[in-house]
C-alpha cells in the first residue's frame, strides 16, 4: 500500500495569512482572543490554544475590555467593530482579503439601492459579516428552492459566500436571470489576490474542483480530512466522493477504520482549505503504521507545522 497526500491540499493563502497574524501576535506574549474559532479545524485550534489563543463570542466582548481581539478570516459585520471601539478593544483584523472585497462590493451595491442576494449559509460566520454590510437586509438563499424569497421587481445583485460550490451558484444565477428584470452578478477582479471570476466564490476553493476529482479518481481509497463545521470541507468532500465512492470523511485520526484499507494498494489523503498539513501528515503516518503501508514522500504544502 502506498499513501500519498494531495499536493494541492492544505491551507488556502487566506488561512495561512490569518494563522501567521495570530502567531505574530502570540509571540509578543500578550493576551489574544479570537472572535469565534479561528478556523474550522479542532486540531489547529488546540495547537494555537496551547500557545495562548483564547476563543470568545461576540456576546463575551465586554469581558475582554481593553484587550486584543483577532477578527478571523471569515470577517465580521460593522457592528462588531463599533462595539469593540466602545469597549477599548484593539482589533487585530485578519479578515481574508477576498472576503473584504466581497464586503466592499456588497456595501456599494446596497448603498446604490440594490436588493442584495447572497448564496450561502445564513448562520455561517462569513455570511453574518456580509449581511451586516446591508443593515441586515440582504436575502440569503442556500438552494434553488429558496428563490421565492427574492423580490423579482427590484434591481438585484447576486453575491456568494466565498466557499460555496460553483455549480449550484451558476444554476441559481441562471434561474434568477430568467425571473428578475434587472440582475447584476457581483464580481471581484484583482490581480494582487489572483482572483478573476464573474462570481464571488474564492478561486482557491472553486479551482480545486478539477484537481481534487483527479486526485480522488487516481486512488483506490481517499481519506478526506476536515473539521465537521468547515463549509468548504463539505463542498470539497462531496466533489471527491463523486469522483471516488470510497472517499471517507474524518475529523481525527481516531476515526480511521481498518475495513477501508482491505485489499487496497493506493490511498490518498486530502482535505479542506482549513486542514493543516501537519494533521494530514499525522494521518499518513498512522495509516502506514497500522495498515502496513509503504512510505512515500508527500509533497509539503505552503504551510506546515512539526
pLDDT digits (tens, 9 = 90+) for 250-287: 999 999 999 999 999 999 999 988 888 899 999 999 99
- Fold match between 2-10+206-291 and 98-201? yes
Domain residue ranges of the chain, discontinuous segments joined by +: 2-10+206-291, 13-95, 98-201
pLDDT at residue number 293: 60
**Phi, psi (5° rounding) for residue 133?**
-70, -10
pLDDT, mean of residues 66-86: 96
CATH of range 98-201; options 1.10.357.10, 3.40.1010.20, 2.40.50.140, 3.40.1260.20: 3.40.1010.20
CATH topology of domain 13-95: Rossmann fold (3.40.50)
Class of domain 2-10+206-291: alpha beta
Enter the pTM of the model. Answer: 0.76
> Per residue in 180-227, pLDDT tens?
989 998 765 443 333 333 455 565 565 677 889 999 999 999 999 998
User: For residue 200, what are the CA distances in angstroms to 10, 104, 195, 260, 304?
Assistant: 21, 12, 9, 37, 28
Q: List, by residue number, the catalytic residues.
A: 126
> Per residue in 111-137, pLDDT tens?
999 999 999 999 999 999 999 999 999
Amino acid at each position: 500500500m502506498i499513501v500519498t497526500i494531495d499536493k494541492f491540499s492544505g491551507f488556502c493563502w487566506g488561512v495561512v495569512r490569518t494563522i501567521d497574524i495570530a502567531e505574530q501576535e502570540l509571540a509578543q506574549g500578550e493576551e489574544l482572543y479570537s472572535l469565534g474559532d479561528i478556523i474550522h479545524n479542532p486540531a489547529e485550534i488546540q495547537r494555537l490554544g496551547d500557545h495562548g489563543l483564547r476563543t470568545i463570542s461576540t456576546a463575551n466582548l465586554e469581558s475582554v475590555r481593553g484587550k486584543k481581539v483577532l477578527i478571523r478570516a471569515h470577517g465580521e459585520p460593522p457592528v462588531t467593530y463599533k462595539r469593540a471601539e466602545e469597549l477599548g478593544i484593539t482589533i487585530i483584523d485578519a479578515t481574508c482579503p477576498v472576503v473584504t472585497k466581497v464586503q466592499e462590493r456588497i456595501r456599494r451595491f446596497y448603498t446604490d439601492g440594490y436588493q442584495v442576494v447572497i448564496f450561502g449559509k445564513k448562520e455561517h460566520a462569513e455570511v453574518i459579516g456580509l449581511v451586516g454590510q446591508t443593515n441586515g437586509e440582504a436575502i440569503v438563499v442556500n438552494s434553488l428552492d429558496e428563490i421565492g424569497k427574492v423580490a423579482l421587481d427590484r434591481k438585484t445583485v447576486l453575491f456568494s459566500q466565498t466557499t460555496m460550490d460553483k455549480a449550484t451558484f451558476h444554476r441559481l444565477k441562471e434561474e434568477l436571470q430568467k425571473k428578475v428584470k434587472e440582475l447584476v452578478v457581483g464580481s471581484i477582479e484583482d490581480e494582487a489576490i489572483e482572483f478573476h471570476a464573474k462570481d464571488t466564490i474564492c478561486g482557491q476553493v472553486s479551482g480545486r474542483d478539477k484537481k481534487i476529482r483527479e486526485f480522488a479518481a487516481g486512488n483506490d481509497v481517499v481519506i478526506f480530512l476536515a473539521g465537521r463545521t468547515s463549509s468548504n470541507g463539505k463542498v470539497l468532500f462531496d466533489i471527491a466522493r463523486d469522483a471516488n465512492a470510497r472517499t471517507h470523511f474524518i475529523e481525527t485520526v481516531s476515526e480511521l477504520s481498518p475495513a477501508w484499507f482491505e485489499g487496497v494498494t493506493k490511498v490518498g489523503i486530502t482535505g479542506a482549505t482549513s486542514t493543516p498539513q501537519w494533521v494530514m501528515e499525522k494521518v499518513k503516518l498512522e495509516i502506514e503504521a497500522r495498515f502496513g503501508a509503504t512510505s512515500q514522500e508527500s509533497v509539503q504544502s505552503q504551510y506546515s507545522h512539526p
